[in-house]
Structure 1
Amino acid sequence: MNGASREALASTRERLDALTDNTSVDAAKLAGELAAVTALLDREVSLRRVLTDPAQPAEAKAELAQRLLGGQVAGETLDLVAGMVRSRWSQSRDLVDALEELADTADLTAAQQSGALDSVEDEVFRFGRILATSTELRAALTDRKASASAKGALVHSLLDGKADAATERLITRLVTHPRGRSLEGGLEALSKLAAERRNRMVATVTTAVPLSDAQRARLGAVLAKLYGREMHLNLDVDPEVLGGIVVRVGDEVIDGSIAERLSEASRRMAG
């Protein structure tokens, strides 16, 4: 997002944080209602344009949202959405993207409040790894001919009783309403949001053999010092790295594997 949309999103994030700091607010219910509003505005393009039309008075747009959603969602959700449509958005789609992010953040907040945020982070990452190794599963979850309910049922069969409820809700929404995103991109975005709940960065660490708890702690401390922020480690094992370690933080890759050193030596010899 750029310009006005970025400012509107930042303001809305602050309102969501203030709202969910109140323990009387059911963050999981809030997430579900925000997701429903996201689906509505994603589907109803003309309505979305009206609610983001800069030529319309802010209060008029807020009143329209309140008339449409009143009685359909809780007061907290209604107030949050009304505040969003009062803001200025650079593009109408930015409002829907922001609502989607808020829904995911509210679910992650619910996980944090129950002490399950670390588990949810790990489960989202593990689901991504399973997806990467199973072309059949990926094909089933991205099949355009399959209904959203069928895809949701498949996710439920995979995660029910095996993952936190917040994990299942997050992945189900991603699979059933991808909104043009790839599954991999959506899962990565969820990982980043989860890390932001604790002001942490995410590092994907690939090693030839599993790290011990002590090694994991030392690596986390080194990366936190290097990047100046607490680091959440997503650990993966791949024998093809041939020893050493590969760390990816955002777009930056730190490759200390033997495989990479051998590859570099081959390139130099070929040159």
Structure 2
Amino acid sequence: MAEGAPPLLVERTEDDIVIVTLNRRQAVNSVSFEMWELFGAALDEIERNTPPRGLVVTGAGGFFCIGGDVKLPPARGQGALSPATRLEMGQRIIARLRKLPVPVISAVEGGAFGIGLALALSADMVFAGEGSQFGAPFIDYGTVPDGGATWLLERQIGRYRTAELIFSGRTIDVAEASSLGLISRATPKGEALSTAVEFLKNVGQGNRHATELAKRLLQGAQEGGIDASHSLELAYCAICQTGEEVARAREAFIAKAQAARAAKAEAKG
């Protein structure tokens, strides 16, 4: 990273996709107070304006995030929880990412460890380049999982596998992460970001409102029971059915089906 370069870069592309890049290359993109502060400001900006098509979180220099910067003090101020000030900031960012009303993808290259793993798992999808590694070596450093890592892992891969990863602190590769269901898609090395951007270009083209509601359903499905999910489905489907986009989509579908039937009949004739 060039001297004076910000620890976080934010770009909104011409395709209306926000790319957030962790940019502390010399520290393997380990998180700092300033990085979390800039991340919070970026989310503030997104929430104030028209939502983008989607958001991608990635890391500069071919590495996602090594975790917290152990060379920097984790505390600010005084009080019983002051030693965990930086962690608290990270928790807020991770919680806000999960609640964004747009699809969020973590584009991982190199590796995601510690709170970097929690940050990656806070997304709706994780795309990982070949050669990437993942780990939760908190106990090895004399601490406990943070950033919601335990909660996120348990819901993604189950209690037993989560316990094994946390207690062992071992590193897993892309193949194992894929088999565990920890990542959504494996990509060739160096192509996680471009694959994520290309994916988001095709999301919500017909109806961004429906995409937002589908995101909320995903959140409800993870955090509530099936009865609560049914209630949300009814409410959101009712909202969608009143929109002009649904009518247009239905007309387009019918026209396409009629054209296909006509072509099939002509071929038979």
- Whether these two folds match at TM > 0.5 is no
Larger relative strand fraction: 2
TM-score, normalising length from structure 1? 0.29
Larger relative helix fraction: 1
